[in-house]
Structure 1
């Protein structure tokens, strides 16, 4: 039987080695499942739809037993980008942990403005209803389309770039795109070269007039034989050559010279576009 676990922190950093000072490869969010590959001082894991295999602190993941209630239990999802859980249904009580958008917790009870929840490691807490939603209700109202992806992208404006980041605490370019999909109910691969294989490749006009909102734009090194091998960066097209991306921080640039947000360096590195939303 496959050894699996559930991420236990709001954001779990996955490192290249068993050391918090080693390179961060990716991140997992509270409530995500992970395959446990090896147990030593730290635990080696692989997250769903993520090719990275790396090490996490043992307190960051809770083993999932076959009879564990977590899998089939009702859950809530955190919908605000930042928040906290508390020991009592009172925001002035002791904080249990921080929370970020996309976190999932087991729902125990609904009180007057709070959900009583349980963490994978059995800690219990209260989460304000104002920053969360029952997962079943959230799934029913999800709309995985360009307007919703772009609305989420804009809500993350200004958050700093962090190599390996996939959370509202900081994200790299592909982590940003992945989070925009995740928060709208979509699941896409972790890295930009994988995301470059989603949807349909576009034959672009010289003035880029056939780009549509939500198209994925790829940048990097020109490799004529196999353009995907040259992918180093990704952004999401907004309209009229303008795109939103994580580079330094999440902001907007343009591929067009007459735009005040024109980025000459990235335009030189522009490779191709993929259409995911039709």
Structure 2
């Protein structure tokens, strides 16, 4: 059974209890598989990137046919931190919903880049308008490797100063694996949402000597994205927000605790890198 996320941000908990650990967040328009109906309030779900947790049923549209159709048609993501969906194509219009970066919608009418507004359809069936440049069609294979690497780094950097939130992955708060997984997702690639390399996902291990912009650095319980020039961007519990640090001990933002504890390096382009 499939379902569609029908709220701006929906918490995934470790147990069917709102006071239990937040293990992940799922954003508006994402689809999930329902693994178990726990009781009248809770369901256990699995995300597209195979993460599992418990969420409130009231936050989902539970309809296998609708969810399957939505999954096939909704290929547009919000790239603005926060985007209002309005009843009409003007700023004074009534708000239907507010969505965060990473939310999924259907573009009903493709607009020229010079046009300010795009008509979009929500999972609820409501139709509204939002700024055209706040929406992106996420397909990774339309760009070169060099462009993808640059794009994924710039996407990660767009979260700079976002507060650290355990299990978070929105501009309201994001953790280390949330940052890296969202940067890739917003560029059309689903990677594992955790600080480790997992079989069955596109990130493969490479050596530190092969690292390039956009590759991932793994530490004990932590993950960061390499930016080039010994710099990396990450959401750090120690720093309390998304920030940039360095692997170079002579750099003012060097962090010895991370630079000396790298456990692995991963790349989407491992086949081209490993000899």
**What are the within-5 Å matches in structure 2 for residues 178-189 of structure 1?**
178-189=181-192
CA offsets 1:236-262 (integer angstroms, 9 cap, x no match): 122232211110211111122111111
Tell me, in whole angstroms, the C-alpha distance in 1 between the residues paired with 2:66 and 2:243: 45
Does the CA-based 8 Å contact 1:5-1:64 persist in structure 2? yes
- Alignment partner of 1:262: what SS? coil
CA offsets 1:71-93 (integer angstroms, 9 cap, x no match): 44465421222211123333222
In structure 1, the residue matched to 2:100 is 100
In structure 2, the residue matched to 1:233 is 222
Does the CA-based 8 Å contact 1:143-1:185 persist in structure 2? no
CA offsets 1:177-215 (integer angstroms, 9 cap, x no match): 1011011111111111236982233054xxxxx543223
Tell me, in whole angstroms, the C-alpha distance in 2 between the residues paired with 1:12 and 1:246: 20
- Alignment partner of 2:133: what SS? helix
Distance 1:74 1:181, change over 3 A: closer
Distance 1:43 1:125, change over 3 A: farther
- Alignment partner of 1:186: what SS? coil
CA offsets 1:24-55 (integer angstroms, 9 cap, x no match): 1111122211001222212221101133x222
Count of residue pairs brought into register by the alignment: 257
Tell me, in whole angstroms, the C-alpha distance in 1 between the residues paired with 2:117 and 2:158: 24
- The CA RMSD measured in Å over matched residues stands at 2.6
Distance 1:98 1:33, change over 3 A: same
Give the alignment's TM-score, normalised by structure 2.
Answer: 0.82
In structure 2, the residue matched to 1:250 is 242
Give the alignment's TM-score, normalised by structure 1.
Answer: 0.81
In structure 2, the residue matched to 1:272 is 264
Tell me, in whole angstroms, the C-alpha distance in 2 between the residues paired with 1:71 and 1:276: 24
Does the CA-based 8 Å contact 2:233-2:245 persist in structure 1? yes
Distance 1:268 1:140, change over 3 A: closer
Tell me, in whole angstroms, the C-alpha distance in 2 between the residues paired with 1:163 and 1:62: 26
Distance 1:256 1:118, change over 3 A: same
Distance 1:275 1:36, change over 3 A: closer
- 1:55 paired with 2:25, answer no
CA offsets 1:116-157 (integer angstroms, 9 cap, x no match): 333222333322223224x38x66745563211111112211
- Alignment partner of 2:58: what SS? helix
Name whichever of 123-132 and 182-191 sits farther off: 123-132
- Alignment partner of 1:193: what SS? coil
Tell me how far 1:164 sits from its aligned partner.
Answer: 0.8
- 1:29 paired with 2:27, answer yes
Tell me, in whole angstroms, the C-alpha distance in 1 between the residues paired with 2:254 and 2:179: 21
Mark the runs of 5 or more structure 2 residues left unpaired by the alignment: none
- Alignment partner of 1:256: what SS? coil
Mark the runs of 5 or more structure 1 residues left unpaired by the alignment: 205-209, 221-231
In structure 2, the residue matched to 1:202 is 207
CA offsets 1:158-189 (integer angstroms, 9 cap, x no match): 11111111223321111111011011111111
Name whichever of 152-161 and 265-274 sits farther off: 265-274
Distance 1:203 1:107, change over 3 A: closer
In structure 2, the residue matched to 1:10 is 8
Does the CA-based 8 Å contact 1:211-1:241 persist in structure 2? no
In structure 1, the residue matched to 2:90 is 90
In structure 1, the residue matched to 2:173 is 170
